[in-house]
Structure 1
């Protein structure tokens, strides 16, 4: 059994997409980040960076004590290796998957996240910041669109953890001020990935957990006012 510490954010959706694809038994432990539950001592023992998702595998492969993981990319890679699926075995396919997984972790996620913040949540509009992150998000969409332009169905040819990592960050494209019709190859991939039964099930689970906005007047300080003391 796997315990998934989760909230309804793009990084949370990555892992439910994997678990539904792999049909692994798992239990969701909700961590309401808009109410500060990510700072609970018991959660910080699993995820010292006070971010979701986190995972506990109660039956790791070597048969040892339960294994705790944080960071969504690390969790996806661990799970792919655990089940022997969604990452290629050959060196070229494996490294293509890893490159695009790291691209999402180091580029698409952080830049789209800053886009979300300055476009939607900053208390005062900052045109320079908005323009910078909307443009950078657009550039990254263009990178993925070009990669997909050679006719491949998925990012690393076969469906993989690279697709699971990227898809949830494209879902809020309208809030990122992106027009999918400007990226036709990405748009086709987006529809293809979103229509997978496991993706549909993963987002249905999200609706069971939370339908309210993560960021509201009450949660702004919790989410955006963190300093070093919060990690204690």
Structure 2
């Protein structure tokens, strides 16, 4: 049975991804920064709760120990993320008000957290017969979209969140080249209604999770080092 770890999975897209993968036969480790919330979510789904704060080395190391003791890992879904530039009232912190502190906090979770988890779980993934990594990115990470006038992404004024997800895309490309036996891809779930955006998204978590689940199920002959949404390949 395929063993899968999902970070930031006690609610939203992570929770729905866990639900769909469990329904498809995966054993899912539900990673959650808050241990109690994670435990309740895991009980609801039939997953295995793992306390995991992607910003904390000790927490990530303990999660590795737990998963390794259970037998190993085949699929890692890096889903945990923040968007602190999305303030109340749907006001986005733009370039004029961007601070180094806001950028640092965003990168600590979205970028350094992804690296921290990847680095820690690589030994387990490399023991798998068919290791897979899914990095949850964003359409706002596309430099092509953000520089093409007329599109929704072009009008987006924020800096920290798209910069962090563009960095996640670069991590995806470079890790995929470094580990050619693994399938490592970035995905754009779409503008999904979750707590991250104050539940203002245009689609459901069921719809948003579809591409994450699809890429978590890829095989050794499927693409790696790519950037995808539900419709296909996205421009970098």
TM-score by length of 2: 0.34
With the length of structure 1 as denominator, give the TM-score of the two structures: 0.34
Greater relative contact order (Cα < 8 A, sep 6+):
1
If each structure's helix is expressed as a fraction of its own residues, which one has the higher value?
1
Larger Rg, first or second structure (1 or 2):
1
